[in-house]
Amino acid sequence: MHNETLRPESPSDSLATPDPRQINATKTYAPGTLIDKFGRQVTYVRLSITDRCDFRCTYCMAEEMTFLPRHEVMSLEECLRVAQAFVGLGVNKLRITGGEPLVRKEAMWLIERLGALPGLDNLVLTTNGSQLERFARPLKQAGVRRLNISLDTLRPDRFKAITRIGDINKVFAGIEAAQAAGFERTKLNAVMMRGINDDEFLDLVQFAVDRQLDISFIEEMPLGEIHGRTGTYISSEETRDKLGERFELIPSTENSGGPARYWRIPGSVSRIGFISPHSHNFCDSCNRVRITAKGELYPCLGQNDALNLLPILRAERDEQALRQAIIDSMGIKPYGHDFSQQMDSPQVVRFMSMTGG
């Protein structure tokens, strides 16, 4: 462990939950791995390569977004250097995110190089699906193992309302292209919103089951100054109860390396997941950090503390300095977040599109 480089714990690092240091105190890790001050190993990085998107989803960004100027965004080479540093510190899962990552010019240049990194066992990508008809096969050839595709509704009119400008037929074509390219365990992600798409949850599961896809339902998170969430929030338990009207859900111990908890439907290969940052906070086992397109390292999605890697990347090229900065960032990784009182008054005012999914 690198405790000698860590910053002291601040009062905001603690929540009224058991201290995981008691749980992880007996664990041992190989030298050179990333361990936070609570004894959790970071093995998973979500790397945003752009804040831009070809949709404007209502829960993700404002209708009139101001995107970052080019000089404030990491170059693809800088993204690669960050990934190389993390993999050298024991990270074995990397998720490419955005915005919509596939709208980034020359994104495949980066993805091909990430796919060839020794020690990176699991290269995955989150997308809105709009560009997959074009990119699914090259992504598979580059070494991307798995895709997550955002899909909150099956209705074209509703899709247009949620995304403001999206065409659902492009997403359907993208799903077909992913399957034709040979992707397995492709997962749909649906944000649960009362009065907006809660009447489609059964149909969304049926859509996934019919196509042998996985699907995860996500509790809406209070990120960005978007009002009205108190009225649209739905818990995972409520949705599971609704799904139980049609499907038998059997709890599963399977883990995809992220925060989703899965259920199985007898006779189906599909997994039904729930990501529950409100109702079942998963912080005690958090193994993730996020890198924004502008090079900010956020150890916690629900906190504002971050380390800016961009000045280090653009100073005299010093990979050891970059590596040490990442090690030091473990000192600001808090025990967890508390979204319960933040629905319409979020303490995190950056939009989800800026955080990187």
Nearest C-alpha neighbor of 60 from the set 164, 199, 195: 164
β-bridge partners, 37: none
Residue 16 is predicted with a pLDDT of 40
Contact 121, 92 (CB under 8 A): yes
Residue 244 is predicted with a pLDDT of 96
Residue 256 is predicted with a pLDDT of 80
Q: Which domains does the chain have, with CATH numbers?
A: 45-355 (3.20.20.70)
What average pLDDT does range 142-159 have in this prediction? 97
Which residues contact residue 101 at a Cβ distance below 8 angstroms, ignoring those fewer than 6 apart?
Answer: 48, 49, 50, 107, 125, 126, 127
Determine the Cα–Cα distance for residues 43 and 348; give it in Å rounded to an integer: 24
**pLDDT: which is higher, 77 or 2:** 77
What average pLDDT does range 273-290 have in this prediction? 78
355 falls in which pLDDT band (50, 70, 90)? low
Contact 146, 183 (CB under 8 A): yes
Lowest mean pLDDT among 117-121, 219-223, 276-280: 276-280
12 falls in which pLDDT band (50, 70, 90)? very low
- Residue 149 reports pLDDT greater than 80: yes
Residue 35 is predicted with a pLDDT of 93
124 falls in which pLDDT band (50, 70, 90)? very high
Residue 333 is predicted with a pLDDT of 86
Contact 74, 332 (CB under 8 A): no
SS3 per residue for the chain: CCHHHCCCCCHHHCCCCCCHHHHHCCCCCCCCCCECCCCCECCEEEEECCCCCCCCCCCCCCCCCCCCCHHHCCCHHHHHHHHHHHHHCCCCEEEEECCCHHHCCCHHHHHHHHHCCCCCCEEEEEECCCCHHHHHHHHHHHCCCEEEEECCCCCHHHHHHHHCCCCHHHHHHHHHHHHHCCCCCCEEEEEECCCCCHHHHHHHHHHHHHCCCEEEEEECCCECCCCCHHHHCCCHHHHHHHHCCCCCCEECCCCCCCCCEEEECCCCCCEEEEECCCCCCCHHHCCEEEECCCCEEECCCCCCCCEECHHHHHCCCCHHHHHHHHHHHHHHCCCCCCCCCCCCCCCECCCHHHHCC
- Residue 3 reports pLDDT greater than 90: no
Whole-model pTM: value is 0.84
- Residue 130 reports pLDDT greater than 80: yes
Contact 267, 280 (CB under 8 A): no
- The token duo for 83 is 């990934």
What average pLDDT does range 24-30 have in this prediction? 63
How, if at all, do strands 288-291 and 296-298 pair? Answer: antiparallel
What average pLDDT does range 8-13 have in this prediction? 37
29 falls in which pLDDT band (50, 70, 90)? confident
Lowest mean pLDDT among 33-37, 84-88, 319-323: 33-37
- Residue 31 reports pLDDT greater than 90: no
| pLDDT above 70 coverage of the chain, percent | 83
Contact 190, 151 (CB under 8 A): yes
What average pLDDT does range 80-105 have in this prediction? 97
In a 10 Å sphere around its CB, with 0-12 CB exposed, 13-18 middle and 19+ buried, how is residue 275 labelled? buried
- Residue 258 reports pLDDT greater than 90: no
| pLDDT above 90 coverage of the chain, percent | 66
Per the prediction, the chain carries an average pLDDT of 85
Residue 225 is predicted with a pLDDT of 53
- Residue 207 reports pLDDT greater than 90: yes
Place of tokens 């749909």: 188
